[in-house]
Amino acid sequence: MAHTIKIALVGAGMFGGDVHLRAYADLQRFGIAGQLARVGLDKWTRDFAPVQFELAAVATRSEASARRAQAHFKDWTGHEPRAYHGATPWDDILRDIPDLDVLAVATPDNLHTAPILAALGKGVHVITEKPMCLTIHEADEIIAAARAKGLVVSVDMHKRYDPDHLRVRDDIQKRIGAPLYGTAYLEEPLEVATGTFKWVESSDPFSYVGPHWTDLIYSYYHSKPVSLTAVGQKKRLIRDGILAYDAVQVRVDFENGLSMNFHNNWITPPEFEGPVNQGHEIVGADGKVESDQQYRGFRWWNQGDKSRTSNNHFTRDVTRPDGTSAYVGYGVDSLTVGLAAVCRVKFHGETRDAVAPLYPTAEESRISVALIHAAALVRDLNFTYLNEGKGATVTARFGPDGIFIVDPNRADSGVDAVFQQIYDRPI
């Protein structure tokens, strides 16, 4: 029996066209076995060694960008995936390639749900960029569709696979004792908001990159949120006529007592030394962990260029004897785990439930989606009230009875108006 996993990639921009496309190029040439020990799945190295991976199609919004991605892939591998473009190119792919195994989704944040549901509807597994979707209701739809068909929806939560974070999860969080409070920050370059993304007004810095950290914290403690508050600012992008938040800060309180601040922006000036600024720290009852993901002690400068840092752990090129490069790092690891789960289901008869511990699941991402959904509502209300001189008093509460937006400014209309239910099930 031919052991092939056929993948189609929708979205080949800054992230899909780089990390996904390069990872799939290495899979196309050499398979997945060489990546497995990095994610603790090396016991399947021999089983998976014969599995072939084929990038069957790549799709983007415009024909030119689809052709570009197609040409890059051919240069790297000798194999030419079919190129699709348009507003819903996943429909064409799913129609034309009935034996597709995996749809990889790297479209803009607000355009994940449609391709994910289309794929699941056709019995195709999914690897999706974060955030999985933007509302808890969409998350439920995705999970129900995946469960109904026994399909994998693996979310690209690569921060879980950063070696420093694995050490925190498996060792240090036990040493520092019960978590008390912490901060996680991810500050993106101004260029992404003013140049790269055409969709900043349909997202915001917390929806865009906050899930990296909310997911990481969930992977450490498996503790659900009980409440949050959120504020955002609009002072920089507005200068360029862009009606989007510059920065968003969200404080989440978790069942285990941890109070965590998430700080995100996409307005870091180009003079900053690294690609992004990021890190997190947690204070526990018996200690503290600090992890600077941006400056890990590696820095250089040279004549004609200023001081620079780089994150060699995310992805790096490892030169092969033939002069080409293997692409490895935690940025690839989070794709590897989802594909390993798909291989177990397709070739080894495993169930969706049995493979769930292998990869960041849709069910786990639902927690992050609940946070970005509620934070967006709270942030907008607080933004309005702050501008009216009423302070930022709006919060959200999560409980067994669902999600409530708590707005004391509605007190005049009675208690029921203060607690507005947006979701009626436990998260």
Minimum CB distance to ligand NAD, residue 43 (Å): 27
Tokens of 395: 């919060």
Out of 35, 70, 107, 293, name the contact with ligand NAD by CB under 6 A: 107
For 162, half-sphere exposure in the C-beta direction (CA atoms, 13 angstrom radius) is 25
Out of 125, 130, 263, 373, name the contact with ligand NAD by CB under 6 A: 130
Out of 8, 11, 185, 341, name the contact with ligand NAD by CB under 6 A: 11
* Nearest Cα residue to 215 out of 280, 271, 152, 265: 280
Under rule CB under 6 A, residue 354 binds ligand NAD: no
Under rule CB under 6 A, residue 213 binds ligand NAD: no
* Nearest Cα residue to 244 out of 194, 317, 186, 298: 194
Which stretch in 57-65, 230-238, 248-256, 415-423 sits in contact with ligand NAD by CB under 6 A? Answer: 57-65
Single-letter amino acid code for the residue at 419: F
Compare residues 188 and 350 and give the one whose CB is closer to ligand NAD.
Answer: 188
How far is 345 from 338, CA to CA, in rounded Å? 11
Under rule CB under 6 A, residue 22 binds ligand NAD: no
Under rule CB under 6 A, residue 111 binds ligand NAD: yes
Under rule CB under 6 A, residue 196 binds ligand NAD: yes
Out of 185, 208, 220, 383, name the contact with ligand NAD by CB under 6 A: 208
Of all residues in the shown chain, the one whose CB is closest to ligand NAD is: 13
How far is 263 from 239, CA to CA, in rounded Å? 22
Compare residues 232 and 284 and give the one whose CB is closer to ligand NAD.
Answer: 232
Out of 101, 109, 246, 333, name the contact with ligand NAD by CB under 6 A: 109
Under rule CB under 6 A, residue 210 binds ligand NAD: no
Under rule CB under 6 A, residue 13 binds ligand NAD: yes
389: left (phi over 0), alpha (psi -120 to 50) or beta: left
Burial of 3 (0-12, 13-18, 19+ CB in 10 A): middle
Minimum CB distance to ligand NAD, residue 217 (Å): 17
Out of 53, 197, 245, 327, name the contact with ligand NAD by CB under 6 A: 197
Which stretch in 103-111, 174-182, 226-234, 345-353 sits in contact with ligand NAD by CB under 6 A? Answer: 103-111
Minimum CB distance to ligand NAD, residue 207 (Å): 8
Under rule CB under 6 A, residue 61 binds ligand NAD: yes
Sheet of 82-85, strands arranged across: 82-85, 52-60, 4-10, 102-105, 125-128, 153-155
| Interface size with ligand NAD, residues (CB under 6 A) | 25
Per CB under 6 A, which of residues 284..313 are in contact with ligand NAD? Answer: none
Minimum CB distance to ligand NAD, residue 131 (Å): 7
* Nearest Cα residue to 154 out of 330, 359, 367: 359
Phi, psi of 107 (to 5 degrees): -85, 175
Residue 10, CA distances (Å) to 55, 89, 176, 384 in order: 11, 8, 42, 36
Strand-strand pairing, 125-128 and 153-155: parallel
Minimum CB distance to ligand NAD, residue 71 (Å): 14
Out of 28, 60, 229, 277, name the contact with ligand NAD by CB under 6 A: 60
Under rule CB under 6 A, residue 327 binds ligand NAD: no
Which residue ranges make up the site for ligand NAD (CB under 6 A)? 10-16, 59-61, 65, 87, 89, 106-109, 111, 129-130, 156, 158, 196-197, 208
